[in-house]
Structure 1
Amino acid sequence: MSYDLVVIGSGPGGYEGAIRASQNGLKVAIVEREALGGICLNWGCIPAKALLKSAEVYDKLHHLEDYGLSASNPGYDFEKVIQRSRGVTKTMSGGVAYLMKKNKIDVIEGSAVLEPGKDAPKVVVTLKAGGTQTVEAKNVMLAVGARAREIPAIGAVSDGERIWTYRNALAPKTQPKSLIIIGSGAIGIEFASFYKALGTEVTVVEAMDRILPVEDHEVSAEALKAFKKRGINFRVGAKVTKIEKPATGVAVHVEVAGKLEILTAEGCIVAVGIVANTDGIGLEKLGVVMDRGHVKNDSHGKTNVKGLYAIGDCAGPPWLAHKASHEAVHAADYMAGRKLSNLTPPIPGCTYATPEVASVGITEQAAKEQKLDVKIGRFPFRANGRAVASSETLGFVKVIFDKKTGALLGAHMIGANVTEMVQGFCLAITMEATEEDLQGTVFPHPTMSEAILEASLDADGRVINT
């Protein structure tokens, strides 16, 4: 069979790229070896947020008195919490199937391997139903994503029982009474927040000197205080040297400030990064240029091989679904000769814990390292009317402006709903807004978004409500 584009992988990047290509008049097929929607919809972003929502609601039930309310004996059914999450996943995956049909995109179920071809590599699919199918196309888009990194040398390898990756942690058979989570990035912190809310004793181990190490230092410090207050334990600056499985549970050996410590729990989640799914699909035979296990591409997603594109997690950081979607849509427009979207959009980062963390642009530390002349504004949610009315006063908004031009360089937030608020800053950076633009914008009252205005005013020493 012959197509204008074959997309390998149906995660957010793959299926959105396929849809855009179809909208551009291209004949498109998509190859998926597991379930439509990829890891994000089935074993990542979406089911994790469903679990976190259940945890958030349950947590609120224990603070009803803050709102003048009461309810007796709040409880939960762990199995039903997991079932709800899996149900959400099924709904979303079904939605992708509908979109494929609506946009006349052929879905080929099976595992793909690339072989040398004429205009682009040939795609040989080992079909789920049995047999093989060879597909030729003018263009091929790799959207194969990534999987959890494991470290065999120290025993950090999932067995599905006592040592988990994110995939195991999303649908366990039973709730563990205690967990050790290795890694305090977004994935590790989100699982820590979920399991702790339901009563699991949680300890997070982080090799760096602070949690959420990609975030601004002030946000990391505030997050550590908030999570500790919720009862999550931390070992920061701790190197894991070995994970053992005694008769029951796990024993995690860590080195902190030169001292050895053995942490024990029923189970362990390994959340130490990802590995691109680039092995075993024929890239070496094609001579694809790689960079530390990821496919090297240009600003349009093109690789060094004619007709081959790569987007999303398999093509390098940041490893975020929305980044993959943008790259895929851009590449689909490029190969169709259409008007292109922004080549270098601001990419927000979000952690959906309680409290939430969101950021976009450079941190204060990065500004110092780049020797930029900046001014910084901050505004705490404890001085925001909507936050006070909602009993959501933890956290703050921090903004970084170029002192000479007033350009917004970065924004960093921790608190309730900040993962929704950050998009305002993304739009501001995209449209090259300055501090004057933000200060001259009317924000609805009362909303937590008013903290954006106040932080911008604070950068000029003109904050009103503190």
Structure 2
Amino acid sequence: MADTYDILVIGGGPGGYVAAIRAAQLGFKTAVVEREHLGGICLNWGCIPTKALLRSAEIFHYAEHGESYGLTIEKPGFDIGAVVKRSRGVSAQLNGGVGFLLKKNKVDVIWGEAKIAKAGKDGPVEVEVGASKKPVVEPQNPVPKGVLGHGTYKARHVIVATGARPRVLPGIEPDGERIWTYFEAMKPKAMPRSLIVMGSGAIGIEFASFYRTMGAEVTVVELLPQVLPVEDAEIAAVARKQFEKQGMKILTDAKVAKVVKLGDGVEVTVEIGGKSEVLKAERLISAVGVQGNTEGLNLEGVGVKVERGIIAVDGAGRTNVEGIYAIGDVAGAPMLAHKAEHEGTICVEAIKGLETHPMKKTQIPGCTYCQPQVASVGLTEAKAKESGREIKVGRFKFQANGKAIALGEPEGLVKTIFDARTGELLGAHMVGAEVTELIQGFVIAMGLETTEEELIHSVFPHPTLSEMMHESVLDAYGRAIHM
């Protein structure tokens, strides 16, 4: 006889485990099916371990420039094996933490690969769990006690939270040796002396920043006209200037036309401005986006609508088939862990019958943890103008902020965009030190429908980087004090 649950979540990543814990809090009998790692790509191969790598690079950078702070430091070096080991250790610790949280909340964990066998109005959804077809990349931490066997499970509600994987372009398939995805780039056996990064989104630029800081010669190839294509053009231009100042070579409006593997690296033909250029490097990182893991779930077989690899859902994660929901990367952009977590909460609370509000995607912040950091929320200046509104734009440079100068981080910009008629904050965009920690202030302001008046009359502490947020608002209305 099949085990029966109120809610069964397929996928133990940020969206899945958060949805499961919230479901348990609301009194639902809950289980998670996971084929490989609790915490998903974000915790094991994305958000968390990359930040550990970037932290090592940041400290190495400061050690190399100790004299700028009046310090005498013997020529610093690094052990790439130890750097990677620290990064993997951080992931392992948090992986175990997710298992602890699920156990604490009495959520069963079913290890294996799930397929939806039956769904519809005539009864619960049936899910078959078998052996994973995807080999586990690294040994698991001790798994939480719970349901561990393969078999058939029933649930009144099934939430698909299976995440995403690197997008692969034909002819440029990763081989794990010379052509890498983020999996291989995160744990190099040796530090390459040179590499080419294909794609300048958050993933590509973070790896480009890490490897350049650690001494590799780095070339970034971007198909679109600007680096960091989703960011405000002015912010992206400031970031690009700093990247190039660090010695990074950046090619925009450039297409990778051909990749040839050599004995000791790769030869990449790039088309740019109607001409071809041949680049050589030891490694190529393919960072051209991700695609949802919708295959193998039998979604089409049970009638779930899937459009261009994305599961179609409403504002509460409901699909067109009763009892089946989807959250996170498989439910569409933006493909971010914090978006998945919030979608999981909305979905479960809607199942419970609580009052919920569809997520406002324009209020989801984006962060890139390169050097300098980039963070944003809301409309870019170009998008605000396209909306037909009259706007006011404020700017404040890091070089006019006392804390930034004291930190030795005088390069950066804070930019705010307001509706000129209503004072509504339409967007905020930053580049510079610690902006990924500052952006939440503007996220909260937008969520509370704060206008320029409240922001102008807010008191920001001194000396802090956050004062630039205030000054940027003031500048939009011709009232900036410190520039």
1:105 deviation in Å?
0.1
Is 1:190 the equivalent of 2:215?
Answer: no
Query: After superposition, what is the alpha-carbon deviation per residue over 1:412-432, rounded to whole angstroms, capped at 9, x for unaligned?
Result: 000000000000000000000
Name the SS of the counterpart of 2:18 in structure 1: helix
1:341 deviation in Å?
5.0
Partner residue, 1:121: 125
CA distance in 2, matches of 1:97, 1:410: 37
Is 1:400 the equivalent of 2:411?
Answer: no
Partner residue, 2:157: 139
CA distance in 2, matches of 1:274, 1:66: 40
CA distance in 2, matches of 1:333, 1:415: 37
1:130 deviation in Å?
9.8
CA distance in 2, matches of 1:38, 1:24: 23
1:343 deviation in Å?
3.2
Q: Work out whether residues 119 and 307 of structure 1, in 8 Å CA contact, stay in contact via their aligned partners in 2.
A: no
CA distance in 2, matches of 1:235, 1:383: 31
Is 1:64 the equivalent of 2:66?
Answer: yes
Query: After superposition, what is the alpha-carbon deviation per residue over 1:219-275, rounded to whole angstroms, capped at 9, x for unaligned?
Result: 111111000001111111101111111232101111000001111100100000111
Q: Work out whether residues 41 and 47 of structure 1, in 8 Å CA contact, stay in contact via their aligned partners in 2.
A: yes
1:342 deviation in Å?
5.6
Partner residue, 1:206: 222
Q: Work out whether residues 120 and 308 of structure 1, in 8 Å CA contact, stay in contact via their aligned partners in 2.
A: no
| Aligned with 1:179 (options 195, 208, 212) | 195
Is 1:77 the equivalent of 2:79?
Answer: yes
Is 1:378 the equivalent of 2:380?
Answer: no
1:49-448 correspondence runs (5 A) = 49-117=51-119, 118-127=122-131, 132-152=150-170, 155-340=171-356, 343-344=359-360, 346-448=363-465
Query: After superposition, what is the alpha-carbon deviation per residue over 1:379-406, rounded to whole angstroms, capped at 9, x for unaligned?
Result: 0010011101111111110000000000
CA distance in 1, matches of 2:410, 2:457: 25
Q: Work out whether residues 111 and 150 of structure 2, in 8 Å CA contact, stay in contact via their aligned partners in 1.
A: no
Residue identity opposite 1:174 in structure 2? A
Name the SS of the counterpart of 1:379 in structure 2: strand
Query: After superposition, what is the alpha-carbon deviation per residue over 1:72-103, rounded to whole angstroms, capped at 9, x for unaligned?
Result: 12111100000000000000000000001000
Number of residue pairs aligned between Structure 1 and Structure 2? 464
CA distance in 1, matches of 2:131, 2:253: 47
TM-score normalised by the chain length of structure 2:
0.94
Query: After superposition, what is the alpha-carbon deviation per residue over 1:158-207, rounded to whole angstroms, capped at 9, x for unaligned?
Result: 11000000111111221111110000000000000001111111100000
CA distance in 1, matches of 2:239, 2:467: 21
Residue identity opposite 2:415 in structure 1? K
CA distance in 2, matches of 1:236, 1:273: 16
Gaps of 5+ in 1: none
Residue identity opposite 2:61 in structure 1? D
CA distance in 1, matches of 2:371, 2:64: 14
Partner residue, 2:144: none
Residue identity opposite 1:307 in structure 2? G
Residue identity opposite 1:86 in structure 2? R
Q: CA distance change for structure 1 residues 372 and 119 in 2, over 3 Å: closer, same or farther?
A: farther
CA distance in 1, matches of 2:124, 2:237: 49
Residue identity opposite 2:116 in structure 1? L
Is 1:449 the equivalent of 2:470?
Answer: no
Name the SS of the counterpart of 1:212 in structure 2: coil
CA distance in 1, matches of 2:233, 2:332: 24
CA distance in 2, matches of 1:131, 1:324: 27
Partner residue, 2:136: none
CA distance in 1, matches of 2:229, 2:372: 16
Q: Work out whether residues 119 and 137 of structure 1, in 8 Å CA contact, stay in contact via their aligned partners in 2.
A: no
TM-score normalised by the chain length of structure 1:
0.98
Q: Work out whether residues 289 and 295 of structure 1, in 8 Å CA contact, stay in contact via their aligned partners in 2.
A: yes
Name the SS of the counterpart of 1:91 in structure 2: helix
Residue identity opposite 1:389 in structure 2? A
Name the SS of the counterpart of 1:113 in structure 2: strand
Q: CA distance change for structure 1 residues 94 and 131 in 2, over 3 Å: closer, same or farther?
A: closer
Name the SS of the counterpart of 1:394 in structure 2: coil
CA RMSD of aligned residues (A): 1.3
Name the SS of the counterpart of 2:93 in structure 1: helix
CA distance in 1, matches of 2:39, 2:63: 33
Partner residue, 2:135: none
Name the SS of the counterpart of 1:245 in structure 2: strand
